[in-house]
Amino acid sequence: MQTVETQPPTTQASHIEAVSAETPRKDELGERLIAAGLEHNEFLLDLNRSLSVPHDWKLPAPWNLPSRLFRFPIEVSENLEGGRRIGLIHPGLVDHPYVQHVSQVLGMDIPAEGAPNRHGYSKQALGLWWHAVDLIPSGYWREALDTRHFTTDADILRAVCFGLECGRENGRNLTTSQARQIFQELGVVCPADPYANLYEFMRPSAVRGDDKVERWPVNAGRAKADVTAWAMVVGIETGWFAKDRSGHLEWTRLGRDRHQAGPATTFIEQSSGQGAFAF
């Protein structure tokens, strides 16, 4: 006798689950955002995960600063099980003119706790870094201090390190004098022996890019931001570091010799072969 294989009968419950899996979840909030002209389509909502201030908007100070925190003040989640959500990237953005506009258009208050994705990640911590790094290296360090409540001291110090280490196309490079003023405003005092921190930096090592030019990039390793920032200021002012042609900080011959010698009283300058006193 030939055996005929049969499939178990599909229960009503499993049929409903299959249909539910194939039916897209209704995106009520997303549809409202698109209908109100706050975003063009659902694809961009899922791609950008934020609502951005229109380019033709004229914002008053301080909201007109070139900070991504101010340009993308509202976070948007994907369409989760409970529906799509929106929230402020920083609680202080409740007074932002565009946030107030969106709130009025939607007829709702924008939650202050952000809009985390399905894994619980929110851009709120990233927004603190945006505000510091977008302003301080670009010549807006005074404005960054005036709006200090939109970031953290640690992010400001990290931005100081970035500004000292990397050049800017607009020529507004952060100077060591400006960095010292930032330290004073934050109450970050100079270490008793700032040169000792330079020996904590990673050993200078040459790298060559596609242009075959030898460079000696500065790598602070895992030192704290305040330690790194002060060390960079001291390193620049004493000639251990200098900017290359691209505007990036690198070890000088003097700095490489000093780092190799360690915290000794005297060292040998490799370029001249003569002994020199440590700082």
pLDDT of amino acid 91: 97
Q: Is the dihedral of CA 199, 200, 205, 211 positive or negative?
A: negative
pLDDT of amino acid 173: 81
Among 242, 235, 204, smallest CA distance to 221 is for 204
Do 183 and 204 touch, CB atoms closer than 8 A? no
The answer to whether the peptide bond before residue 62 is cis (omega within 30 degrees of 0) is yes
Among 178, 158, 180, smallest CA distance to 226 is for 158
Do 165 and 248 touch, CB atoms closer than 8 A? yes
At position 233, the amino acid (one-letter code) is: V
Spell out the per-residue pLDDT of the chain, length 279, in tens: 555 555 555 555 555 455 445 555 689 999 999 999 999 999 999 999 999 999 999 999 999 999 999 999 999 999 988 789 999 999 999 999 999 999 999 999 999 999 999 999 999 999 999 999 999 999 999 999 999 999 999 999 999 999 999 866 555 789 999 999 999 999 999 988 888 889 889 999 999 888 888 999 999 888 789 999 999 999 999 999 999 888 899 999 999 999 988 876 444 455 544 444 444
Rounded to an integer, what distance in angstroms lies between the CA atom of residue 72 and that of residue 94?
13
Apex CA 132: angle with CA 126 and CA 136, to 5°?
A: 150
Do 252 and 239 touch, CB atoms closer than 8 A? yes
Rounded to an integer, what distance in angstroms lies between the CA atom of residue 45 and that of residue 40?
8
pLDDT of amino acid 268: 47
pLDDT of amino acid 254: 94
Rounded to an integer, what distance in angstroms lies between the CA atom of residue 24 and that of residue 192?
63
Do 65 and 143 touch, CB atoms closer than 8 A? yes
pLDDT of amino acid 12: 55
pLDDT of amino acid 115: 95
Do 181 and 136 touch, CB atoms closer than 8 A? no
Apex CA 142: angle with CA 141 and CA 144, to 5°?
A: 60
Do 154 and 125 touch, CB atoms closer than 8 A? no
Among 129, 54, 147, smallest CA distance to 89 is for 129
Rounded to an integer, what distance in angstroms lies between the CA atom of residue 78 and that of residue 254?
53
Q: Is the dihedral of CA 231, 233, 239, 245 positive or negative?
A: positive
H-assigned helices in the chain: 12-22, 28-35, 42-48, 68-71, 97-106, 124-135, 141-146, 153-165, 176-186, 194-198, 225-237, 253-261
The separation between the first and the last C-alpha atoms of the chain, rounded to the nearest angstrom, is 99
